[in-house]
Chain A
Amino acid sequence: MIAFIKRYEGLWLFFHSPAAMIAAVVAVLIILGAIFAPWLALVNPYDLASFSLFDGLLPPVWEEGSNPKYLLGTDDQGRDMISSILYGARLSLVIGLSALTIAAVLGVGLGLAAGYYGGRFDAIVMRIADIQLALPAILTALLIDGIARGILPAAVQQDVRVAVLTLAIALSLWVNFARTARASTFVQMNKEYVQAAIMMGQRPSRVMFVHILPNILGPLLVIMTVDLASAILLEATLSFLGIGLPADSPSLGTLIRIGMQFLLSGEWWILWIPTLFLVALVVSINILGDFLRDVFNPRLR
């Protein structure tokens, strides 16, 4: 019975938490929309031939002068807002997820090793992490952007924008993973099963990844969801500030930046719709993260 409760505890809590359920539905809908954007979207915002300037600046259907073809209206180029948002979310999610993966691999690896070896290695890794924390993500992005511009030929620079952005975001997120992994590893190092493995003479890599890692996954999973939201926001911020993606391949942040120009000119939807969409995505992911934290930390329940 106890085992049964333990195993399905998370599910039970999920179905008794309206906030978590709504958040999950929103997040899943958005992610599905992003994945199937090429089939769902009316126009391809990257393809200039698929939309027309004559359809520009149409308001959403419930406003006067709208075209029922474009449910949420169009921007000044005549791009369907829904299509732009779906493609933009697609790009935002791809960048967010890849940055998160890089950050998790780097951070967990370094954090585990720091916790396992301790001493000087730990001190060096953690000081690097401190330095990283002192640099704002924008500065890191500018730095990497600058380096990329310096060493890469101009021709490929546009193509590596996504990679540069991803790397910049990953670099500003790995510290969270490293700190959490290190602290949890310290706790596990005092557990007797780890001592037993070390005593047998098992390789450090086996002790770390086969024995310790599965036992610290809980807190890392929580960090992962919360940081996914941060990664998406960070991408939006960087794009909004113009360090991220250019206007011809818009992510959510770029869409918001474009919309800024219309803020005071009456075409409110160009700014507000992508913004609300971003807020919905980030808030729902954060709620899911908080929910996971509660599941893994019974003391907070």
Chain B
Amino acid sequence: MLTIKDLSVKFPSRFGDFTAIEDVDMTIKPGEIHGLVGESGAGKSTVGAAVIGLLSSPGYIANGELSLGNTNLRTLTPDQAHDIRGDRISMIFQDPQTSLNPLMTIEDQLIETIQAHSDVSYADALKRAVDLLEEIGIKDAARRIKAYPHQFSGGMRQRVVIALAICTDPELIIADEPTTALDVAVQSQVLDLIRRLAKDRQIAFMLITHDIGVIAQIADRVTVMRKGRVMETGETAQVLGAPEHPYTRALMDAVPPLDHRIKRFRVPDEDGKGPVTGNAAEKWLLEGQQHALTGLTLTDICMRFRGPRTSLWRKPEPFVALNDVSLEVRPGSILGLVGESGSGKSTLAKAITGLITPSSGIMKLGDDILPDGKARGRKHPSRQLIQMVFQDPYSSLNSRHRIRDILTEPLWFYGFVPDAREREKLAAAMLELVGMQPDAIDKYPHQFSGGQRQRIAVARALLARPRFLICDEPTSALDVSIQAEILNLLKDLQAMFGLTILFISHNLAVVRQMADDTAVLRNGRIEEIGSTDSVFERPSADYTQNLLALTPVLPKAWQSTAVAG
């Protein structure tokens, strides 16, 4: 049983000590899955690192008690701590790609770990390793154990990482975002495995995650953290179902539900304060609307890339990224495009924007044929009419340019506003429209948070006066409360300016909230397309049904009571 009392961790810096976590209390009983939720910077991972004794230098434990069973973890010598790590406490990391050594077979890695902690012969260790792999659901383990990590799929690799973690029979496993890098179907298998291990082997799990759906699905107890402090702790059903702390309540409000659509997310500081109306940027955008609403039609888009060469003489098999994709984004509507990683969502976006040239198929913007990639000139009108909001707000803004330069670029580039001072005024007004202070214009991107940067990215897209907006995973790099704000903003802007939006996401719940129609993409093929309600409530394709069934959801009773639509 893990006991944490009044734990504080500090990082000394040139400007005094920075307190990463303060007064954290927590107990985890054997067999308990204890969820640790919070947004980025909440100090969740620091708690895990402090427990396992791997605080990154120069961090140190300033105060508090930390014990596992009868062992005081704070008074251990480095050698003793080393013996406990892996033996009594194990860790599962986020990315199975990098937590296994790519140059060692699974066998070597498992046996190395087993022999490091117990004095057994190679043959016995091998037998134990094979049994272990069988137990966590790897078939034909005796043969598969000879394989290298790259020969396993992502989910299998994460199973191997879990096998490594449990091969020494630890009392406690710290799982830091164990399913974040995995697709929904694999995630649910890994979560099942964790639950089974907790029950059968009585292992205590500290499950660190930002995903409240995951916590709701498997955690027995949950601790909510924010800015290094514990906000609320208790039984999962009680903390998430009837949150007492306002922060927990706000967090729950921001979680998009999967089974119904809400009009707007309730955001704490935004109450009653709708979007700014009547400002210069809004007028400017509205007067630019001579074009009617513009839809997009794709017919039989195929995208083939050259595959890996297997022989010097034979032509390599092409890799098909998109296979006869046909879809229509109705004028003035939002089409949600969902699919797992590698399904071709981003490839489709790139084809529409002309960054890549499809192998075949016809794209039409409104009534006009959209020339393919290379054939689309630099001056083609679609370069202005189609704009994009990217996934990663940290890389979509040029970090060496001021916000002023970033925002005024489309204005002079498309020749909308000849006067430099006018351009700047309009850019400032646009910042206001997307909910930022107009004085942000003098700053550089790194001075803003992810959510603010995404607002700036939206402002930049709007300053091109687009009629068609592509949002490629616009919120997947953001915390859930920031996601709610950005989704609200996009909804407001869409309603104000009648934009047609292609909304790409792997998150079904987000698409449910945003889209009028939904298309499900898998391995480059459209599995299902239809109105969002029908796709989510009466999915016809097996794949969609599966996806919906496996996505972790909050029990109905816990869901936020935000404005239902």
Contacts and interface: CB of A to CB of B under 8 A. Distances in A.
B378 A202 contact: yes
Interface in A1-52: 1, 3, 5-6, 12
B15 A200 contact: no
Contacts of B378: 201-203
Nearest to B377: A201
A215 B398 contact: yes
A214 interface: yes
Interface stretch (A86-94, A188-196, A241-249, A282-290): A188-196
A276 interface: no
B410 A193 contact: no
Nearest to B395: A191
Interface stretch (B31-39, B384-392, B478-486): B384-392
A38 to B, nearest CB: 40
A214 B401 CA distance: 9
A196 B388 contact: yes
A200 B15 CA distance: 43
A146 to B, nearest CB: 42
Contact of A195 (B377, B379, B390): B390
A3 B446 contact: yes
Interface in A194-250: 195-203, 211, 214-215
Contacts of A214: 398, 400-401
Contact of B388 (A5, A199, A201, A203): A199
A198 B356 CA distance: 11
A119 to B, nearest CB: 12
Contacts of B380: 201
A245 B388 CA distance: 58
B460 to A, nearest CB: 8
Interface in A74-127: none
Contacts of B396: 191-193, 196
B302 to A, nearest CB: 22
Given A3-B447, A211-B398, A215-B399, A200 B464 contact: yes
Q: Which of B380, B392, B396 has the most CB of A within 10 A?
A: B396
A192 B391 contact: yes
B397 A193 contact: yes
A31 B337 CA distance: 62
Contacts of B304: none
A261 to B, nearest CB: 53
A296 to B, nearest CB: 14
Interface string B70-113: 00000000000000000000000000000000000000000000
Interface size class of A (residues with CB under 8 A): 20 to 34
A152 B63 CA distance: 79
B43 interface: no
A292 to B, nearest CB: 17
B353 interface: yes
Nearest to B350: A195
Contacts of B391: 192
Contacts of A196: 388, 390, 396, 460
A12 B14 contact: yes
B354 interface: yes
Interface in B14-29: 14-15
Nearest to B378: A201
Nearest to B393: A192
Contact of B353 (A5, A199, A202, A215): A199
A6 B446 contact: yes
B144 interface: no
A262 B460 CA distance: 70
Interface residues of B, number: 30
B383 interface: yes
Interface in A236-277: none
Contacts of B410: 200
B122 interface: no
Given A6-B446, A196-B388, A198-B355, A215 B400 contact: yes
A202 B464 CA distance: 13
A192 B379 contact: no
A197 B377 CA distance: 14
A193 B383 contact: no
B398 A199 contact: no
Contacts of A3: 446-447
A2 to B, nearest CB: 8
B284 interface: no
Interface string B365-391: 000000000000111100110101011
Contacts of A200: 383-384, 409-410, 413, 464
Contacts of A195: 355, 390
A237 to B, nearest CB: 37
A192 B354 contact: no
B136 to A, nearest CB: 35
A52 B379 CA distance: 72
A15 to B, nearest CB: 12
B275 to A, nearest CB: 24
Contact of B15 (A1, A6, A192, A203): A1
Contact of B383 (A1, A192, A201, A215): A201
A197 B392 CA distance: 15
Contacts of A199: 353-355, 383, 386, 388
Interface in B391-421: 391-392, 395-401, 409-410, 413
A199 B378 CA distance: 9
A3 B443 CA distance: 11
Nearest to B390: A192
Nearest to A193: B398
Q: Which of A12, A195, A198, A200 has the most CB of B within 10 A?
A: A200
Q: Which of A196, A197, A200 has the most CB of B within 10 A?
A: A196
B395 A193 contact: yes
A203 B379 CA distance: 10
Nearest to A217: B400
A16 to B, nearest CB: 9
Q: Which of A12, A192, A195, A197 has the most CB of B within 10 A?
A: A192
Contact of A202 (B395, B413, B446): B413
A192 B355 contact: no
A182 B409 CA distance: 26
Contacts of B395: 191-193
B201 to A, nearest CB: 38
Contacts of B384: 200
A5 B446 CA distance: 12
A142 to B, nearest CB: 41
Nearest to B461: A196
Contacts of A12: 14
A204 to B, nearest CB: 9
A192 B413 CA distance: 18
Contacts of B409: 200
A3 B354 CA distance: 36
A14 to B, nearest CB: 14
Contacts of A201: 377-380, 383
Contacts of B397: 193
13 contacts: A3-B446, A3-B447, A6-B446, A12-B14, A191-B396, A192-B391, A195-B355, A196-B396, A200-B383, A200-B464, A201-B378, A215-B398, A215-B400
Given A3-B447, A195-B390, A203-B378, 10 more contacts: A1-B15, A3-B446, A12-B14, A198-B355, A199-B386, A200-B384, A200-B464, A201-B380, A211-B401, A215-B400
Interface of B: 14-15, 353-355, 377-380, 383-384, 386, 388, 390-392, 395-401, 409-410, 413, 446-447, 460, 464
Q: Which 5 A-B pairs have CB atoms at the shortest separation, nearest pair first?
A: A214-B400, A192-B396, A201-B378, A192-B390, A201-B383
